[in-house]
Structure 1
């Protein structure tokens, strides 16, 4: 049996919609850099999935973020 290669990390980032493509580019560049540096893996092995969420679909403490606080 061949030894299994370590599975490289996949990050799921959920955040309110509205960030620009440039902000997302910077985010994934930094997360990738720090992950590769910390884990000793290649940057090409790091996956990042960004999900934009509407405030009406996110709740904290039983209250939607789309409602006045």
Structure 2
């Protein structure tokens, strides 16, 4: 999976895959490939969200430490 894939790009591609499947635009032969790609895209989104959450937690901890009386 691409390391430089943005959350938005992964999410948009994932939405397109879901839309194609829902609209019946995916043949049975393509379905396995689409589902595998969707799984990769979900992993990208999850990794990006986890990394963002960790960064926010670090920033909040830093702010709490800076605001604490010495």
- TM-score by length of structure 2 reads 0.36
Which structure has the highest helix share of the two? 2
Which structure has the highest strand share of the two? 1
- TM-score by length of structure 1 reads 0.37
Question: Quick check: which has more Rg, 1 or 2?
Answer: 2
